[in-house]
Structure 1
Amino acid sequence: MARTVKNSKSAQQRRAEAEALQATITEQIEQLRESGAWERFLGFAQSFHHYSLGNLLLILAQRPDATCVAGYRSWQARNRQVRKGERGIRIFGGRTVRETIENESGEEEEQSRVRFFPVTVFDMAQTDLIDAEVGDPTDISCSLTGDDPAGIFDAVSDYLTGLGWTVERDNIPGGAHGITTTDGSRRVVIGVGLAAAQAAKTALHEAAHVLLHVGEDPSEYVEHRGVKETEAESVAYIVAGILGLDTSAYSVGYIAGWSDCDADTIKATAANVLRTAHHLADAITEPTPAAEPAPAAV
């Protein structure tokens, strides 16, 4: 029998609480946007190269959990050091070169063209901060600590298993917390070293990906990844909150990063998020016993 979360709230109460939690996401994102922490993060993020769709697909294929990628020396310039032994992500770089050619008239002329060549980049999760005193501009979310007293992880695991997915706890290279496969293998992997609370939240996040995004074309996911990650983490935040687990220390910063701290993006995803949150909360929560009928009048 599938494990569920014991919860005394009715389905109607859970729906009302979900809507209230969805509204708090926007409020907290707006507060973060006004803070110095967001300005520091934005300055850091804007310094990154914008990759072509082809390179984004290459990055996703080699490292599905990648967030920010840069070359070895570029990371050093950003006060981060690639850890020894990390495996790089191979993409294509381009450089404009000028060369002399002979035109149709037999005259020499210079032309410019872009020459492509393989380069190696690394994800931020493969790096460590060099000088802590300088500060880390990416520090807008903190991993959760503590327990999972409601048994959220077990309930989500059983729910996904019932849908034909395999849920595993394993080491994930680079420090990602969770992965949902898109190659047809139907596997969800949750990091083995996570605290119970973080593992529970991550399981909810990956379950949201399964419900919302699996089956989409990879290019669709890459092109709109910020929206997809915003949706999945919003679902996790709402469902966890309904079940008594506050994930705001992690979720708000995560959502801010992927939504570009844009309240309009949060509002635009609300319908998808609430529909999925309602479904997931109902699926993993023990049904509330029906009220006993009043005794008949004598």
Structure 2
Amino acid sequence: MPYKKPSTPEEKEAAREASQAVTQELMSRIDTCALRLAEQLGAGASDELLTFMRFSARFHTYSLNNQLLIWLQAPEAAHVAGFQAWRGLGRSVRKGAKAVRVLAPLVVPDHEAPPVNGRPAQRIVGFKYSSIFADYDTEGDPLPSAAFMVVQGGDDGTCALLRSLTAACPVPVRWEDGEGRGAHGWTDGGQIVLCREKCDLEPAHALRVFFHEWAHVSLHFQGAGKRAEDLPDRQTRELEADAAAYVLSSFYGVETTAAVADYITTWGGNAEKLHASMTRIGRAVSSILGALRCQGEPVARAAA
């Protein structure tokens, strides 16, 4: 039966209530999923969270809540887009395809706040749901392929990739001979230093160390609105940087599960703390991948 747009006040009210019910159900699914992941970490299990983290890298432009919703509804998706966006890519949504529902903010003008970038400020007053579709439910023109480089380890291509990635970093990256601070790498927020002795012989490992320090720069230094009192404790900072490095490394085929799997159980069973950290991690991953794309550096598809 074709969709009929509500016309009477009663039909509009019924449609509004139905939409609110769907939105509340989506929010409930997010809360339930976040709680389940936190409880698993509290029990010492991290497999499901690691799977989600690899999955989320494919959709780094979406909020954490919407990444969770996409994962719950379309775990095999490689790409998602709205009906019209797929048409713009020369593809059409198959008849009978099941929509993936995500949340979109409801915004209104904020007359009490100063303009932002010359435009009137806005504030979020709630959420509504919108429908997108997974790539496997569409047909038509081939999807454009992204530049894709897989790290092999100590090969010349890996070394070249590491050089190009460090060149795209917003802070200087330098190599330090000898033991240095005893660490594989470090940062003070103004530069990243990699220990040549510990990293140079294995560029694949150096890549993970580099992403770990870049995540620290993005997440844990004052500036860009960050206040010292708002930063998490040192253990959480290291955990967030390691998790972000895990997601970013997976883009290039670097398997670092063993290095992070046991460590991330530190989040324990605290769903609120886990959600806050994962939100920050997602923003760091998106920021770093955005910087790489702006520099024209190769960005891999996330591993399945």
TM-score by length of 2: 0.40
TM-score by length of 1: 0.41
